[in-house]
Amino acid sequence: MRILKHWIDGASIASATELRSVVTGPLDRRPVAEVPRGSVEMTHQAVASARSAFPTWRDLAPVVRGRLCGELARELRRRSDEFVDVEVSETGKLAGEMRGGVQTSADYFEYYGGVVRALFGETISLGAEDRAFTTRDPYGVVAMITPWNGPLTQASRGLGAALAAGNTVVVKPSEFTSSSTVMLAQLASEIGFPPGVLNVVLGTGPEAGAVLIEHPDVRLIAFTGSVETGRHIAKVAAERLVPAILELGGKSANIVFDDADLDRALQSALTITVGAGQQCAALSRLLVQSRIYDAFVERIGHAMALQVPGERLAPMTTEGQFEKVIEYFAIASREGARLVTGGHPVSGPLSAGRYVEPTVYADVTPGMRIFREEIFGPVLAVTAFDDEEDAIRLANDSDFGLVASVWTNDGARALRVASRVDSGQVTVNGGRTGIETPFGGFKSSGLGREKGFESLLHYTQLKTTVVSLR
């Protein structure tokens, strides 16, 4: 069992007075880590360290900060196996998924370490007697709060941009999956990030997270997690008048027209099994045109049933999440959705872990909770639509708007639908996204954007300087 400590000012720190809790792993519910529950004292120390590291870090040339980020990317790749093992033990993700996750994490540092060198301001023409120009200044101390479904990738996504831009950071990872974030900060210190530039404070939401976001020296809050907590954080940020970047949930639509490449569309529907559906961007609503509906539902049912838990399907990361998905199975059957496959926790030897069956419900209507609410499990809700108008209406009948996917071989229709779907990202015929593509939500799915060059703009504030030449 790993005994975790905070990482503050480039060193491992524990508090004698803090309570600690034991995290049990999703694969077999055995203890994997002992984690501090958090305290005001430790959280304040972390912010103080980030604050005092800020001026020196800000004043470095971007190329110097960028090189350190690049070095961190190389070390992450070199030590990928260690990170994969730890992350698998706490999140339950398949090793293959997690190997990709470590590479993506390294990509973030590599990308932002490079593009920060192209973060320029502008000059503004005011005539011969004055010169005006803008610069992109870092905020100072950033508080970053991350969830349990992608601890390393989600921390790296924000950290790459925030650090390259010249901010210093206090990260509070989820209390269920803290280890990889501590390892990352330790690695950063080892390769030469100055003490205090990247701190990790451990603990629960109320005991550490709440203290962190309320701290007067925190100048920007970056949060990934549930809508409920995001809404609370937005209120705190409003009261303090600091910006908040919020990456929240989704109930994203995958729209399949009858002229689409159905084999590829089927593969995209199966991505609900990635991370066992514990992904904000999961395509959890499948909308299928009526002419092909029955046949496609049958195919997706068969294909999902082949996603064997433990081999091709990860468990639920937390006990709370496991119980939540089981509760949605009961809700779905009460509300009269047609169960095509799955719908139960996994029995037999694997029941030592938090496994649920890959699940498909068909004939789901917009009034049902499984159409409207984020389940965050390997559960597809399938609904038929008649025509283009109907598809757009159903896709947009949601409080969320994170991503959407459209499948059709009619190019004009693809673009019409893509332009009318209310979501921060739309893929057409399986278009693949990258580090370069901004990501974030419309409606209740969030505020602001992560990824892409856009993210650097969010982690900086614009300053205008005007010089008199007289």
Residue 430, judged by CB atoms within 10 A of its CB (0-12, 13-18, 19+), counts as middle
Chain length of the chain: 470
List 151, 166, 205, 440, residue binding ligand NAI (CB under 6 A): 205
Contact 364, 382 (CB under 8 A): yes
Placement of tokens 């077999």 in the chain: 28
CB-count exposure of residue 339 (10 Å: 0-12, 13-18, 19+): middle
CA-based end-to-end distance of the chain: 68
244 forms beta bridges with 221
Region 134-163 residues binding ligand NAI, contact defined as CB under 6 A = 145-149
Q: Read off φ and ψ for residue 234, nearest 5 degrees.
A: -60, -35
Asked if 249 is part of the footprint of ligand NAI (rule: CB under 6 A), the reply reads yes
Residue closer to ligand NAI by CB (options 189, 445) is 445
- Three-state helix/strand/coil letters over 344-398: CECCCHHHHCCCECCEEEECCCCCCHHHHCCCCCCEEEEEEECCHHHHHHHHHCC
Closest CA to 253 of 379, 398, 378, 360: 398
Shortest distance, position 135 Cβ to ligand NAI, whole Å: 31
Q: Is 372 in the site for ligand NAI (CB under 6 A)?
A: no
448 touches ligand NAI by CB under 6 A: no
Closest CB to ligand NAI among 235 and 393?
A: 235
Residue 127: Cβ within 10 Å count: 7
Long-range contacts, 320-324 (Cβ 8 Å, 24+): 321/278, 321/354, 321/376, 321/377, 322/354, 322/356, 324/375, 324/376, 324/377
Are 26 and 92 a contacting pair, CB within 8 Å? yes
Q: Is 226 in the site for ligand NAI (CB under 6 A)?
A: yes
List the beta bridge partners of residue 321.
none
Q: Is 248 in the site for ligand NAI (CB under 6 A)?
A: yes
Kindly determine how many residues on this chain lie close enough to bind ligand NAI according to the rule CB under 6 A.
26
Asked if 185 contacts 171 with a C-beta cutoff of 8 angstroms, the reply is yes
Q: Is 280 a catalytic residue?
A: yes
Please select the residue that binds ligand NAI; options are 29, 58, 67, 232, rule is CB under 6 A. 232
Q: Is residue 44 at the binding interface for ligand NAI, with CB under 6 A as the rule?
A: no
Q: How near is the Cβ of 462 to ligand NAI at its closest, in Å?
A: 28
Question: Binding string, 317-336, against ligand NAI, x = CB under 6 A?
Answer: ----x--x------------
Stretch that binds ligand NAI, among 48-56, 131-139, 169-177, 180-188 (CB under 6 A): 169-177
Decide: is 206 part of the binding site for ligand NAI (CB under 6 A).
Answer: yes
425 near ligand NAI (CB under 6 A): no
209 binds ligand NAI (CB under 6 A): yes
Selected from 105, 229, 254, 455, the binder of ligand NAI by CB under 6 A is 229
Concerning whether 69 is annotated as a catalytic residue, the answer is no
Indicate whether 210 belongs to the interface with ligand NAI (CB under 6 A): yes
Position 374 contacts ligand NAI (CB under 6 A): yes
Give contact residues for ligand NAI (rule: CB under 6 A).
Answer: 145-149, 172, 174-175, 204-206, 209-210, 213, 224-226, 229, 232, 248-249, 280, 321, 324, 374, 376
Which sequence positions are flagged as catalytic?
247, 280
